[in-house]
């Protein structure tokens, strides 16, 4: 799911994490305060009731605007071809 973090600030390009207080660029941190507040969440579809989707695993606030739904692309990705050494066992294990 793609959603808009509508309550997030978008004016902080430099921040200081509480852990050490050193000022760094926002994109080098895991802060939820981002200039572009589009977020993603991988969820499990539990039920469909009319126009309502019930999901498990969504980590946003109730009322957060939904932007888009995307399928799990790994379902469509073919497995990697076998490579030499795939079955080799490490003798130190």
Q: Does 24 map to a domain? A: yes
**22: in domain:** yes
Spacing of C-alpha 12 from chain mean position? 20
Task: State how far the Cα of 31 lies from the Cα of 34, in Å rounded to an integer.
Answer: 7
**Using one digit for the tens of pLDDT, what is the confidence trace for 42-59?**
899 999 999 999 999 998
Position 60 in a domain:
yes
Q: Residue 85 has what pLDDT?
A: 84
Q: Is residue 41 part of a domain?
A: yes
pLDDT band of residue 80 (cuts 50, 70, 90) is: confident
Whole-model pTM above 0.95? no
CATH of the domain at 26: 2.40.30.70
- Examine residue 16 and state whether it is found in any structural domain, yes or no: yes
Specify the number of domains making up the chain: 1
For residue 71, give both structure tokens: 């399928």
What does each C-alpha distance from 36 to 5, 49, 88 come to in angstroms? 9, 32, 45
Q: Is residue 90 part of a domain?
A: no
Domain span at residue 58 reads: 2-71
56 or 89: which carries more pLDDT confidence? 56
């Amino acid at each position: 799911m793609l959603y808009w973090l509508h309550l997030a600030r978008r004016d902080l390009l430099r921040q200081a994490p509480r852990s050490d207080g050193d000022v760094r660029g926002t994109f080098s941190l895991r802060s939820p305060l981002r200039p572009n507040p589009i977020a993603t969440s991988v969820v499990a579809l539990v039920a469909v009731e009319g126009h309502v989707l019930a999901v498990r695993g969504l980590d946003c606030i109730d009322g957060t605007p939904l932007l888009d739904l995307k399928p799990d692309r790994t379902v469509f990705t073919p497995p990697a071809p076998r490579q030499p050494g795939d079955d080799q066992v490490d003798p130190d294990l």
